Amino acid sequence: MSKNEEILKMMVQDYQKFDEVNAIVISGSSTVKNDDNASDYDIYIYCTKEPDVEERKNIALKYADNPEIDNHYFETGDVYYLRETGMPIDIMYRSLESIEGNIKWVWDGCNAGLGYTTCFVYNVNKSKILFDRDGWFKALQDKTKLPYPEKLAKNIIKKNFNYLKDVMFSYFDQLNTAVERDDYVSVNHRSAAFIASYFDIIFAMNRLLHPGEKKLVQFAKENCKILPQDFETDVNRLAIGSPSERIQTASKMVEKLRNLL
């Protein structure tokens, strides 16, 4: 066991003492062997209510100097670097109702979003359980290991593909308008939104859960059996190409997907 793992084990023992904590899991790149030197430990604490801020601070100070406690930039969280090893720690607090609601809406109800539809399902599916008071998280995780719902795949593909170019005010229309205005901030924003829906389609076509924001091209190349022609080249060109190149590339990407579908 590494020093980081030893400290993580002690941390879990501290956090599980809160009565309101039902489960503690670690997820993110470290659990799917996709980590690198910039990766941190993503720890999710599932609770009926958020534990007391001062008590959380006291725990953090056992392991770190100058922790940032009770951030609300995304999910409620505490972040710090381990004093002994320098490992970044990102702790997020989630309510049982919020994650159950997401799994029910997406996985059970087969409802699609625009981009990143199954990210939370993936997060639960790939988490490593560190503490599970009454088996609640294991039961939720087991649900995500059922076969990918065909209805969900079809709904993701239909909703996201239509909005790439085939409906009024599509991402393509918005991107084209941004280019005409020389609005480079909007060009980047619309390109990113287009790419998000594009990958949602790719993963749904392959009946794969969406892994999030990191290393998507690499993940797709390693795991997808179905990919459009010139997939990597097109994604890179849309992400970093000139404005005119992005318009041309986006149009080609849609037609290549259309051929596959």
Contact 164, 172 (CB under 8 A): yes
Pick from 69, 81, 14, 2: nearest CA to 41:
81
Q: Report d(CA 25, CA 83) in Å as an integer.
A: 21
Pick from 139, 144, 109: nearest CA to 125:
144
- Say which CATH topology domain 3-144 has: Beta Polymerase; domain 2 (3.30.460)
Contact 178, 186 (CB under 8 A): yes
One CATH from 1.20.140, 1.20.144, 1.20.120, 3.30.565 for 150-260: 1.20.120
Which residues are CB-contacts of 208 (< 8 A; sequence separation ≥ 6)? 148, 223, 224
Contact 76, 93 (CB under 8 A): yes
Q: What separation in angstroms does the CA of 19 have from each of 14, 44, 69, 137, 140?
A: 11, 16, 20, 16, 20
Contact 226, 256 (CB under 8 A): no
Q: Report d(CA 241, CA 7) in Å as an integer.
A: 44
Model confidence, pTM:
0.92
Q: Report d(CA 143, CA 147) in Å as an integer.
A: 9
Residue 1's pLDDT is 78
Per-residue pLDDT of the chain (261 residues; tens, 9 = 90+): 799 999 999 999 999 999 999 999 999 655 545 444 446 799 999 999 999 999 999 999 999 999 999 999 989 999 999 999 999 999 999 999 999 999 999 999 999 999 999 999 999 999 999 999 999 999 999 999 999 999 999 999 999 999 999 999 999 999 999 999 999 999 999 999 999 999 999 999 999 999 999 999 999 999 999 999 999 999 999 999 999 899 999 999 999 999 999
Residue 54's pLDDT is 97
Residue 40's pLDDT is 79
Per-domain boundaries in the chain: 3-144, 150-260
- Residue in the block written with tokens 């002994």: 84
HSE-up (13 A, CA, CB side) for residue 217: 11
